[in-house]
Homo-oligomer: A and B are copies of this chain.
Amino acid sequence: MSSYPVWGWGGPSDEPTRQQLEGLAPFVAAATGVAVQAPEAPARTPAPPPARRRLPGSLAHLGSDQPEDRVRHGIGRAYRDLVRGLRGDIRDVPDLVVRPESEQDVADVLEWATQSRTPVVPFGGGTSVVGGVEPRGLDGAISLDLGRLSGLVEVDATSRAVRLRAGTLGPAAEAALRPHGLTLRFYPQSFERSTIGGWVVTRAAGHFSTRLTHIDDLVESVRALTPVGTWESRRLPGSGAGPSPDRMLLGSEGTLGIVTEAWLRAQPRPAHRWAATLAAPDFATGSRAVRALVQSGLQPAACRLLDPVEAALSGTLATGEAALVLGLESLAPPLDAEIAQALEVGRDAGLRVLEEGARGEAGDAWRSTFVRAPFLRESLVLLGVLVETFETAVTWDRLDELVTSVTTAVTASLQRVCGGGAVGCRLTHVYPDGAAPYFTVVAPARRGSEIAQWDEVKAAASDALAAAGGTITHHHAVGRDHRPWYDGQRPDVFAQALAGAKAAVDPSGILNPGVLLG
Contact = CB atoms under 8 A, between A and B. Distances in A.
Interface stretch (A40-48, A407-415, A495-503): A495-503
Given A472-B241, A516-B242, A395 B496 contact: no
Contact of A268 (B247, B297, B336): B297
A245 B491 contact: yes
Q: Which 9 pairs between the two chains have the least Cβ-Cβ distance?
A: A237-B434, A500-B504, A297-B331, A333-B337, A247-B247, A237-B431, A497-B501, A203-B240, A500-B500
A185 to B, nearest CB: 12
Given A251-B241, A434-B236, A434-B237, A493 B393 contact: no
Contact of A238 (B159, B213, B242): B213
A332 interface: yes
Interface residues of A, number: 98
A500 B505 CA distance: 8
B334 A337 contact: yes
Contact of A296 (B237, B251, B331): B331
A376 interface: no
Interface in A153-168: 156, 158-161
Given A295-B160, A500-B500, A505-B500, A471 B234 contact: yes
A160 B295 CA distance: 9
A341 interface: yes
A435 interface: yes
B161 A395 contact: yes
A205 interface: yes
Nearest to A393: B238
Given A251-B243, A332-B341, A494-B231, A238 B434 contact: yes
28 contacts: A156-B395, A158-B396, A203-B240, A213-B238, A214-B240, A220-B395, A229-B492, A230-B493, A233-B494, A236-B434, A237-B395, A237-B435, A240-B471, A240-B474, A240-B475, A241-B471, A242-B516, A243-B248, A243-B252, A248-B248, A265-B432, A268-B295, A333-B337, A497-B502, A497-B504, A500-B500, A501-B501, A501-B504
